[in-house]
Amino acid sequence: MRKTAVVTGASSGIGAATARRLAAEGFDVVAGARRRDRLDDLAAEVPGIRPVTLDVTSQESVDELAASLDRCDVLVNNAGGAIGLEPVAGADVADWQRMYDVNVLGSLRLTRALLPRLIESGDGVLLMLTSVAGLVSYEGGGGYVAAKHAQSSMAEVLRLELCGEPVRIVEVAPGMVHTEEFSLNRFRGDSAAAGHVYQGVPDPLSADDVADAIAWCVTRPAHVNIDRLVIRPRAQAAQHKVHRV
């Protein structure tokens, strides 16, 4: 019997790599995001992927996805991202609301909608894609740091509340990952500023590196819960300690 994995934010970066990887591991993958054309291309290329138009900020959209599922064994709450690097004193409230809505409430909407299916499966895995920004604060991190801390807390609370149920709660917290769009979105489309983030860093993580870690976490035996996996490139010893050449 094939298991079903739902991956949000599967139209680019870590989500797309995770959809590919879980399909290769033998899952039926439901790949959700707003940009349907990109999902259709992914599904045409990789057998076992079903594209679904999904906006995690819309309850209606999340409900539609939930209603389309026969089963759900794995949920990867990956959709998210950062907007801006302004100090808190100069922050735009709308940016913070947007980051909270996508990263935190988006994960909450998916969790509420699919948790019954995960439990029903008898061995469900809910994976929360947070960030080292959810563990350590940094200047300019503002709303993103706050949102990722909230997601990380949600994972901890869920693990406590669901103790005794057949569902594992896993948090994967990556450091610097060079994806095509994350920094571009953070810098509102300024590609020079986005490129500067990774400048001189020998081998930041790739989306495939994180997908590999996610695949490992969700394919452990049912009794093994990886509470939190922190993954950084070798060049990033800590948030403020990045080796550049």
Ligand X SMILES: NC(=O)c1ccc[n+]([C@@H]2O[C@H](COP(=O)([O-])OP(=O)(O)OC[C@H]3O[C@@H](n4cnc5c(N)ncnc54)[C@H](OP(=O)(O)O)[C@@H]3O)[C@@H](O)[C@H]2O)c1
Catalytic residues: 144
Phi, psi (deg, nearest 5) at residue 241: -130, 85
- Per CB under 6 A, 99 contacts ligand X: no
Select the residue interacting with ligand X from 177, 194, 217, 242 (CB under 6 A): 177
Kindly tell me which of 109 and 168 has the beta carbon lying closer to ligand X: 109
The residue among 170 and 207 lying less far from ligand X, judged by its C-beta, is 207
The distance of closest approach from Cβ of residue 112 to ligand X in the complex, given in angstroms and rounded to an integer, is 16
CB 51 within 8 A of CB 40: yes
The least CB distance from residue 77 to ligand X, in Å, is 8
Q: Which is nearer to ligand X, 81 or 124 (CB)?
A: 81
Which of the ranges 31-39, 89-97, 110-118, 237-245 carries the binding residues for ligand X, by CB under 6 A? 31-39
Backbone φ and ψ for 138, nearest 5 degrees, come out as -145, 155
Nearest in space to 57 (alpha carbons), one of 111, 17, 24, 100: 100
| Piece in contact with ligand X (CB under 6 A), picked from 20-28, 157-165, 174-182, 212-220 | 174-182
What is the distance between the alpha carbons of residues 102 and 123, in angstroms, rounded to a whole number?
27
Which residue is it, tokens 């935190």? 104
Residue 200 CB neighbour total at 10 angstroms: 10
Q: Is 242 in the site for ligand X (CB under 6 A)?
A: no
| Closest approach of ligand X to the CB of residue 164, in Å | 29
* Bridge partner residues of 236 (DSSP): 242
Q: How far is CA 226 from CA 21, 97, 108, 223, in A?
A: 19, 30, 20, 10
- 121, 185, 206, 225: which one contacts ligand X (CB under 6 A)? 185
Q: Quote the least distance from Cβ 124 to ligand X, whole Å.
A: 20
152 near ligand X (CB under 6 A): no
Q: Nearer Cβ to ligand X, position 119 or 136?
A: 136
Print burial letters for 116-133: b (CB count within 10 Å at least 16), e (below 16): ebbeebeebbbbbbbbbb
Strand partners, 173: 230
Where do contacts with ligand X occur on this chain (CB under 6 A)? 8-9, 11-15, 33-35, 54-57, 78-81, 102-103, 129, 131, 174, 176-177, 179, 181-182, 185, 207
